Amino acid sequence: MSTVTAAQPIPEQAEGLGDRLKTILADLREEYLQPHATPWIIGFSGGKDSTLLAQLVFEMLLSLPPRKRQRVVHVVANDTLVESPVIANHLDIVLDRLRLAVEPLRLPVVVAKTVPVVEQTFWVNLIGRGYPSPSRIFRWCTDRMKIAPTTNYIKTQVDASGQTILLLGVRSAESTQRARSVARYDNGQRLNPHNTLQNCFVYKPIVDLSTDEVWETLLQSSPPWGGTHRELVTMYRNAGGGECPLVTDKSEAPSCGTSSSRFGCWTCTVVEKDKSAESFIEAGYGDLEPLLEFRDWLKVIREDGALRMATRRNGTLNFVGEGRLIPGPFTLEARRAILDRLTGVQEEVEMQLISPAEIDVIQRIWAEDTLAMLKLEPA
């Protein structure tokens, strides 16, 4: 089997958005028709950038005769299981449209959604193990809920094919942080080796487009898989911000939980205020208000030392500075109170916020922790 080569130069961009899009489509086509069977994986968040990327890939594939559509393209989304309900619903609708369109369009596309394993979900870690809600200092969520599930999917494809090409809808103009992240991957070639995933190459087809150009393209076109982009535009307008993109590298973690009004996990306590949730509520999504109140409560109680254990889960004490003790996990009593309040909110909003499988794992961890504490008590 022929292998991927990273020695293909990036073509110079032509003037004008129409010409720039033609250049991107030609670049996609040239890369797709390379003489090897390395699969493509599109990191799909359902936001504007990944939606445009998926649309351009579909348009490129449709421009080829069916006999030349030989390489498999995976459209892979990540669901942390605590996504904003508005975003989660939009993503599921788009993924369903993609799945339904693939066969009639005769496209070699696989649509998939990754989720964290039940042992590493948000609620199992917070309520089961007692981890305090995530902060800038202790952001335990990104790796477990975003990076690990997607990384496992990519590694599975690498194991099956030897190599894979990861297409990301990242753009230098999105933010200063994103520009730095893009630069880390950029070796001046079309394909760049992934920072941490062996035999995975990163391809950034829309890296040079501006935000205005992304919106202009989406607003003047319809997705090949059906429907329109009106729901996407409305979602952004209501949220007043942008999406937390698919993450495959810890160095990209600052994109999730910044001070901007990105929409992502409704439980995110890394940000001071969840501006996107507030915007959704103002736009008429009143059922999100109990979720926002619960999120704010989680942020407050993590600072209450009376609700935290002195020792960490490994039994050690954590000191910083001049002997200041950093509290450990939530106490068992606090964890029970959090679960009770969460299930109450779940009943109020009539949507599943925590699954029975998660509750089973949480209760198992509680039993193990109780037994461990009993063993430590003097006879």
Angle value at C-alpha 283, between 280 and 285, nearest 5 degrees: 60
- The reply to whether 93 falls in a domain is yes
- The reply to whether 118 falls in a domain is yes
- Count, residues in the chain: 379
What domain range is 31 assigned to?
Answer: 17-123+141-233
Structure tokens at 339: 């679960």
- The reply to whether 244 falls in a domain is no
- The reply to whether 203 falls in a domain is yes
For position 155, which CATH number holds? 3.40.50.620
Taking Cα atoms as reference points, which of 374, 372, 378 lies closest to residue 315?
A: 372
- The reply to whether 293 falls in a domain is no
In the chain, count H helices and then E strands. 13, 8
Query: Residues near 146 by Cβ (< 8 Å), separated by ≥ 6?
Result: 78, 80, 246, 247, 256
* pLDDT of the chain, 379 residues: tens digit per residue: 456 654 444 444 446 999 999 999 999 999 999 999 999 999 999 999 999 999 999 999 999 999 999 999 999 999 999 999 999 999 999 999 999 999 999 999 999 999 999 999 999 999 999 999 999 888 999 999 999 999 999 999 999 999 999 999 999 876 544 445 555 555 568 999 999 999 999 999 999 999 999 999 999 999 999 999 999 998 888 876 555 555 556 655 444 444 444 568 999 999 888 888 888 998 888 889 999 999 999 999 999 999 999 887 777 777 766 767 778 899 999 999 999 999 999 999 999 999 999 999 999 999 999 998 887 665 5
- The reply to whether 36 falls in a domain is yes
Taking Cα atoms as reference points, which of 205, 181, 206 lies closest to residue 191?
A: 205
Taking Cα atoms as reference points, which of 351, 175, 179 lies closest to residue 262?
A: 175
Taking Cα atoms as reference points, which of 362, 327, 328 lies closest to residue 342?
A: 362
- The reply to whether 163 falls in a domain is yes
For 40-52, the three-class secondary structure string (H helix, E strand, C coil) is: EEEECCCCHHHHH
Count of domains in the chain? 1
- In 271-310, which positions are buried (b, 16+ CB within 10 angstroms) versus exposed (e)? beebbbbbbbbebebeebeebbebbeebbebbeeeebbbe
Residue 137: the pLDDT is: 86
Cβ atoms < 10 Å from Cβ of 11: 12
- The reply to whether 110 falls in a domain is yes
Cβ–Cβ under 8 Å, residues 79 and 113: yes
For the chain, what is the largest distance between any 2 Cα atoms, rounded to a whole number of angstroms? 80
Cβ–Cβ under 8 Å, residues 48 and 215: yes
